[in-house]
Amino acid sequence: MNPVNEKRDDDDTGRDAAPSAFELLGGEARVRELADRFYDLMELEPAYRELRTLHPPQMEGSRDKLYWFLCGWLGGPQHYIERFGHPRLRARHLPFAIGIRERDQWMACMEQAMREIGVEALLAHRLSAAFMNTADWMRNKGG
């Protein structure tokens, strides 16, 4: 199961399933807004310099991939899988030196993006915990 998608199927009770994080966030338009703000901040804020250097000079492809990935990861359409297959996040990120600094910059940038686009506080907290689990798992170097 997806780490942020706690949607349950309650067919036998006649109740609707709880909304996914994708639905709570506001669907595809809001996921796109989050991905775009994340990359805007990465380019604008000196505090995310090391994180920015891990990306190509032109980041349109990175923006799209994050958007496509987040849609599915949050419980919405599986755009990333339809295009590329299983995300294999760790394997795809192994060529990049990701340590604590890069993880923390990624998290700070994502948390700032969530604040700036107005993600509701409880949802942002839930997403931050899930993002941290994933971001920490991506580390492949010390420090």
Q: State pLDDT tens for residues 63-110.
A: 999 999 999 999 999 999 999 999 999 999 999 999 999 999 999 999
Q: State pLDDT tens for residues 42-67.
A: 999 999 999 999 999 999 999 999 99
Predicted pLDDT at 72 = 97
Tell me the domains of the chain and their CATH numbers. Answer: 19-137 (1.10.490.10)
Q: How confident is the model at residue 142 (pLDDT cuts 50, 70, 90)?
A: confident
C-alpha pair distances (Å), 132 with each of 11, 28, 51, 77, 139: 32, 22, 15, 22, 11
Q: State pLDDT tens for residues 107-125.
A: 999 999 999 999 999 999 9
Q: pTM for this structure?
A: 0.88
